[in-house]
Structure 1
Amino acid sequence: MTRRSIGQINQKIENGEANIFTVEEFKKLVKNDDAPDFDEVDVVTCGTCGVMSGTAAILNFVVSGPGEFIRAREVYLNGIPAYAGPCPNEWLGSIDAILHGTTHSIDDDNYGGGFLLKELLEGKSVDVRVESAEGLTIENTITIDDVIRGQIIGTRMAFKNYTAFTNPNDHSIPSIFAATPLEGNLSGLTFSGCGDLNPLQNDVPHNAIKEGVKILLNGAPGYILGDGTRSSAEKPNLMLTADYKEMDPYYIGGFKTGQGGEVYDTVAIPIPVLSEEIYNNLLIKDEDIKLPVADIKGRHLPLAETNYKEMWEGYDLRPQYDDSKCRNCDQCLVEEICPTNAFKNLKLNISYCFGCGMCANFCKHDAFDMNTGDVDLQIDGQNVNIPIICRQSDRLRGNKLSLKLKKLIENNEFRL
């Protein structure tokens, strides 16, 4: 079997001779039966974006002058509880804190760590309240410039495949897998996963994606620490890390669900084509990737099976908003349910938009035009057609970060 080394590929990159494709570019060629041969592909940059609950930030910042309190006991950032420590920083006035992306504000379940991490990167002010070990309350305001050191660690990221959910029950059920309580009687389907764009989907079984490999996490250079929690041979995921302060706020943020605020991240990983086996694994297509459909109440109770082609092919990645159709309702349902707060004051902030499809499926006046698709399934011996009402993954962001990684490699700013 033909093989080549990382050193050989890096040399071709330095000489400007390497053939580098984003995963989107490569899959288009594959689906058109025009895929380049093994010898014509050196690197494919793969990307995924989605709700990734295992996101935590380790932050160090100053909240007071030295000597004002002994050590922090409790820390709140915009009302979101963070974990003080592990370093006590006795008498220094500085805090080490661990913030979970899924922790909710004590005042608002829909506002959580994912939203705060985005706002902090955008330069917005964050209110800090510290309850000290000796009973003092210290309040201050910080921005990203006050964060001395920040690191994101994702304990389970970039799942190779996931599950779609529907609700066969006769009542709505709130869940982290739907942006609102999911209505019953098979009225809608929600799913996660970027299909054949996902890095792990293109590298079975981890020939190139290994511990220590360099990646981009939310736009910042980072590393694979190893397998993530709950990782298995059937459903692998990764533990990743990168410098929080170097991240681009476009690629990270909050996502409201039926159970409160969650967090989304974007990951891009280069796959150097070192062998024909790695090359052959890159030929996988959406239609080859099975997607189980489960009861959202049972979560692991299988109802049917589909594939990622049925989820993505031919459907829109973003809505078109026609403000002439907007009726300025007393209570705007879209503004209320938009998972990323992209629709505010009758305006769509496309940079905040996640392409989830909720607006098009729930606006009473059809002000949002977006084909999110539907799927034909056989459930309990009956053929049913279920509309896809919510995506918790975003192919557009995944593709954009894949393209950024490709350009960095081509410009010798990212070495494999």
Structure 2
Amino acid sequence: MEKTIHSIKEKIEKGEAQIFTAQQIKKMLRNGEKISIDDVDIITTATCGIMSGTAAIMHFKVAEPGKFKKAKKVYLNGVPAFPGPCPNENLGLIDLILYGTSKSIENPDYGGGFLLKDILKRKEIEVIIKADNKTIKTGLTLDEIKTAKIIGTRMAYKNYMAFVNPGKEPIPSIFNPIPMEGSFKGLSFSGCGELNPIQNDPKMRTIKATSPILLNGALGMIIGEGTRSTPEKPNLMIAANIHEMDPYYLGGFKTAAGPEIFNTIAIPIPILNKEILNNILIMNHQIPLPVADIRDRSIIDQTNYEVAWTGDERPSYHPQRCADCEKCLVAERCPTFAFKNGLNPRKCFGCGMCANSCPNNVFEMKTGKVTLHLDGESIEVPIVCRQSDIKRAKKLAKELKYRIESCEFPIR
């Protein structure tokens, strides 16, 4: 039996479509339920994690016409962007491209991801333009930015990798908030496992160019395959309107090698035939997670996402245990600045860094361990950092399910 998009859309309009989140489907499978093509019409998948290939394209007014001829440099809250490509000569306007990984010239821990979250929260942003041997300063909010779109050049990988440091010296890297300690002291990883969109449609039968998606809560579109995409490791190029995004799903992530950016993406998969159905039945224990040497990214062993995602999604917080240390390691290391005189749950990413840093166990969180087998020896390595957030992914998948059921999201 095969279905068509048209028949599924008719069922949605009648309120008869069987729509599930990926989380619901996996729970059914764990409970021993059998799932047939008649049982499900659409599943909503999602992922959240560091996505370095994030850029924003913006256009806004800086000054009155004639104030400057052409912008040479531009800074937003100290974060450099790139003027152009349109020159807007003598118009007092600017087009720019902002990298999500750009770093502030004033604060090395602040970058494009943190800036975009501040813009989405409608905070006033300081704009500095260098043009015609003059400096122009102004402030603006999102409502004054007429065009604001995110273009993701490389997003939603079909899961990713884990990293360890087999050497002796700490290694600064984008894959950990602090320099990764040597001698296998800790492991960091990315990927939402069985919830991941492409993992549930590995041959991309339904996930393809022009498919509608949610990017940070905004209706967006897949442009095509992203940079460095291969049949073995596919990823997507995606675009969406910043004005429609929810700041909860996007933000900065501080690493030992500079600020990064995280995004959250949800994609529906219509179940049109048995091949697509069989693909969505994949579970975490069936999904390999390669473990690489952080020094050169060479693969040294392999685990799976069942091992990686065993544990808590968020830390438990025990403020009464706080010893008011002169130097708070949690505040210093938290990659999303979620801890400052208390834990901000909206900012928390569930990475586990707090629980692996506080000497007084103010934060407790089970993040699990991975056993590596190297040269005939077994090495147990604690997971010290998650660079993907399964909680945000689950939330956006649920939101997408609701929008489809409410006929607020196009299926095509």
Shorter-normalised TM-score: what interval? Answer: over 0.9
* Alignment RMSD: 0.8
3-state SS of the aligned residue for 1:115?
helix
Q: Does the residue aligned with 2:237 lie in a helix, a strand or coil?
A: strand
1:267-286 equivalent positions in 2, closer than 5 A: 267-286=265-284
1:26–1:35 CA contact under 8 A, matched in 2: no
Percent identical pairs in the alignment equals: 53
Matching of residues 19-58 of structure 1 within 5 Å: 19-58=18-57
Find the aligned partners of 2:376 and 2:299 in 1 and give their Cα distance: 14
Output the TM-score relative to the length of structure 2. 0.99
Shift of 1:109: 2.1
Code of the aligned partner of 2:376? G
**Residue in structure 2 matching 1:333, options 309, 315, 329:** 329
The number of residue pairs the alignment matches comes to 411
Following TM superposition, by how much is the alpha carbon of 1:110 offset from its aligned partner in structure 2, in angstroms?
1.4
Once the two structures are TM-superposed, the CA of residue 161 in structure 1 deviates from its matched residue by 2.2
Equivalent positions of 1:347-366 (< 5 A) are 347-366=342-361
The 5 Å alignment of 1:148-297 reads 148-297=146-295
**Aligned residue for 1:398?**
393
Separation in structure 2 between the aligned mates of residue 327 and residue 7 of structure 1, nearest angstrom: 62
Taking the aligned partners of 1:249 and 1:354, their CA distance within structure 2 comes to 13
Letter in 1 for 2:385: C
Residues of 2 paired with 1:232 and 1:253: CA distance? 27
One-letter code aligned to 1:357: G
Q: Which residue of 2 aligns with 1:86?
A: 85
- Mapped to 1, the partners of 2:301 and 2:268 lie a distance apart of 33
- The equivalent of 1:369 in structure 2 is 364
In 2: Cα distance, 1:330 partner to 1:240 partner: 44
- Pairwise CA distance, 1:61: 1.2
Contact 2:172–2:257, Cα closer than 8 Å, also in 1 = yes
Matched, 1:305 2:302: yes
Q: CA deviation at 1:92?
A: 1.4
From 309, 319, 344, the equivalent of 2:315 is: 319
Instruction: State the partner residue of 2:339.
Output: 343
Structure 1 residue 46: Cα displacement? 0.1
Q: Which amino acid aligns with 2:391?
A: L
Structure 2 CA distance, aligned partners of 1:77 and 1:364? Answer: 37
Which deviates more from structure 2 when the two are superposed, residues 260-269 or residues 83-92? 83-92
Q: Deviations over 1:328-387 (max 9, x none)?
A: 21111100110001001x210000000000000111110001101111111222101100
Distance (Å, rounded) in 2 between the aligned partners of 1:172 and 1:35? 48
TM-score of the superposition, structure 1-length normalised?
Answer: 0.98
Deviation digits for residues 135-162 of structure 1, max 9, x if unmatched? 1110011111111110100000010021
Counterpart residue type for residue 103 of structure 2 = H
CA distance in 1 between counterparts of 2:15 and 2:35 reads 18
Q: Give the 3-state SS of the residue equivalent to 1:360 in structure 2.
A: coil
Alignment of 1:50-69 (within 5 A): 50-69=49-68
1:123 corresponds to 2:118: no
| Poorly superposed stretches of 4+, deviation over 6 Å | none
Distance in 2, matches of 1:310 and 1:291, equals 9
CA drift at 1:35: 3.9
Separation in 2, partners of 1:17, 1:73? 56
- What amino acid is aligned across from residue 253 of structure 2 in structure 1? F
Assess if the C-alpha contact under 8 Å between 2:158 and 2:202 holds in 1.
Answer: no
